[in-house]
Structure 1
Amino acid sequence: MAIPGAVGASIVDYTTGFPVATTGTAPNSDHEAAAAGTADVVQAATSRSLFVSAIPHDLLEDLIITTAGGYHLLRLVHTDFDSRLVLYVWLDRQQGNLAVARRRMQKLADDLIAT
């Protein structure tokens, strides 16, 4: 994987909870359950005004969930036409670097939009 310390990754349609693409290992070895959980988290964060910015029309970029052994990073992919994809990476806490992973995910999201 292009992200050091990444255990697994997926692209998820968060409106359906469907994994569009997966690689590596998923929590509990179940990519479909991980995608459904990712969709639930993103829908909860985007459907309420709880996480709004002080800046008008500011979009949610990342969600980070931490555990003792790792990080679950969710990066929303914003497009002009249909923003319903999210990048999900499961990062090992000892082997990965959160800042590097966030930068790489931002680049991956930008590359997805450019293609």
Structure 2
Amino acid sequence: MNLDDALREGMSMDGALGIAIVDYESGFTVAKQGGSSLLDLDVAGPALAEVVRAKLRAIETLQLDDDIEDILVTLGAHYHIIMPTEARGNGASFTAGQRQTLFLYLVLDRSRGNLALARRHLRGIERQVRS
């Protein structure tokens, strides 16, 4: 599956407002679907990349032997889900030392979307993107 097809599938979720693939080292938005003037996915990419880098530094500082499976930011009107595209074990995760630097970013309308279903659907898209 190519990136555009994967992102179109992400936009088919109930409540999906935008989805992107972002490089967390550079903040560059590799591909995107959806968004709006109020939800600029190109502007969000660098800011979210900093969130990922900060969390990885925290894990390293705390010497936690664990990975980030996803990051959820809950706002009044939206859910923002950040999910890595690299597999480790049975699922995807960020690891401080790994070289894969891409993540999926999904914005979901809280009143129309189902968070549990969106995370499950996004995990399926993640598997398609990395294969």
Same fold (TM over 0.5): yes
- Taking a change above 3 Å as real, the CA distance of residues 65 and 20 of structure 1, as seen in their structure-2 partners, is same
Q: Give the TM-score, by structure 2 length.
A: 0.75
Query: Paired residues, what number?
Result: 111
Cα contact 2:86–2:100 (8 A) shared by 1: yes
Matched, 1:33 2:33: no
- Taking a change above 3 Å as real, the CA distance of residues 52 and 60 of structure 1, as seen in their structure-2 partners, is farther
Letter in 2 for 1:9: I
- Taking a change above 3 Å as real, the CA distance of residues 90 and 52 of structure 1, as seen in their structure-2 partners, is farther
Letter in 1 for 2:110: R
- Taking a change above 3 Å as real, the CA distance of residues 34 and 84 of structure 1, as seen in their structure-2 partners, is same
Instruction: State how far apart, in whole Å, the 2-side matches of 1:94 and 1:51 are.
Output: 36
Q: Which residue of 2 aligns with 1:101?
A: 118
Deviations 1:62-90, CA, capped at 9 Å, x for gaps: 10001111110100111577310010001
Q: Which residue of 2 aligns with 1:76?
A: 84
Percent identity of the aligned residues? 34
Q: Give the TM-score, by structure 1 length.
A: 0.85
Cα contact 2:20–2:32 (8 A) shared by 1: yes
In angstroms, what is the RMSD of aligned CA positions?
2.1
Please give the residue correspondences for 1:47-62 in structure 2 after superposition, counting only pairs within 5 Å: 47-49=57-59, 56=65, 58-62=66-70
Gaps of 5+ in 1: none
Instruction: State how far apart, in whole Å, the 2-side matches of 1:2 and 1:37 are.
Output: 25
- Taking a change above 3 Å as real, the CA distance of residues 52 and 4 of structure 1, as seen in their structure-2 partners, is farther
- Taking a change above 3 Å as real, the CA distance of residues 52 and 11 of structure 1, as seen in their structure-2 partners, is farther
